[in-house]
A = this chain, B = another copy of it.
């Protein structure tokens, strides 16, 4: 009998929830037949949707959640008042060991705060970071943080670099990943205090990779480094600016191909290749960002995605679980902190011994 991969879904998070969540789950299930789902949401709205998918129904449990975390709710309020929300109950399922991972397309700040509170951070990590893979001219890179931490001190950035490098080793199989700190110039004196101090620490402290130094916005897609580290404000703006620019280029391309008869004919001939390009640059393909540094697999989907994008986020969670990446990251972190004396004091997770509950 195949091992089941149980995934908890916040059925109410995202612009087109719950429809998009259920349709995405059905699509992902076709790709990954070993998945079972725990849906958390408004039973009256989710049940009729599930009933339309016989196959999906057979591998899903629906748990009623009376509350929903609104997209504008403050994280602190979501934490206090959201105990019966679809998001919180889905995260609880991971903490209790009932699910191997949780996915939400809801309020990022609330998801971050709740997941951190319920699942706890790994030893040596003060704050989890949102990470994603991005396409580059030479392959792919990992970028973090993408919006979990608006203001980061130097030590946070150093921890993100460490997690990004370990993730890169585990996921991309690059044994000595190169790490760049996002800045507005490559020179040492550029940037604000936090990035300059983080760079000074990264030049001294042993990390499982090579510190490249500062990188600029255009280095992200150039493939200059394997890991791009930044604070959540700049990272989120960079990510969304890249998405917007890709859309603009597609828009220009469509205009170009309809600008003359010859161009239209050219489009017909090149259609197959252009379709592949479209798939390659489709932001939905890169949907599903991981919270790195949590004792449990938690994936954030874009709130504005459709069922195709949400299915990809489920794919990310599935891969993280089946390859046991979170345990590998935790083990590498433990090895790293065990082998090297931290240069600066690091706050350890205050409330719990390492438990494997959350990690599948």
Contact = CB atoms under 8 A, between A and B. Distances in A.
A174 interface: no
Given A74-B189, A236-B184, A136 B248 contact: yes
A216 to B, nearest CB: 5
A269 B273 contact: no
Interface in A234-254: 234, 236-253
A286 interface: no
A141 to B, nearest CB: 11
Contacts of A71: 187
B266 A243 contact: no
Contacts of A220: 241, 244
A272 B276 contact: no
Interface stretch (A26-34, A57-65, A94-102, A257-265): A257-265
A222 B265 CA distance: 28
A249 B246 contact: yes
B237 A182 contact: yes
A257 B270 contact: yes
Given A240-B218, A269-B266, A233 B184 contact: yes
A239 B242 CA distance: 10
Nearest to A276: B256
Contacts of A335: none
A266 B256 CA distance: 13
Contacts of A241: 217-218, 220-221, 238, 241-242, 245
Contact of A221 (B109, B151, B232, B247): B247
B240 A217 contact: yes
B184 A232 contact: yes
Contacts of A72: 187-189
Contacts of A109: 190
Interface string A302-346: 000000000000000000000000000000000000000000000
Interface string A160-188: 00000000000000000000001011011
A268 to B, nearest CB: 7
A137 interface: yes
Contact of A273 (B191, B259, B268): B259
B216 A150 contact: no
A101 B300 CA distance: 49
Interface string A91-115: 0000000000000000011000000
A150 B192 contact: yes
11 contacts: A72-B188, A72-B189, A135-B248, A217-B237, A230-B237, A241-B242, A245-B249, A256-B270, A265-B270, A266-B266, A266-B273
Given A191-B233, A218-B247, A256-B273, 5 more contacts: A137-B248, A241-B241, A249-B249, A262-B270, A263-B270
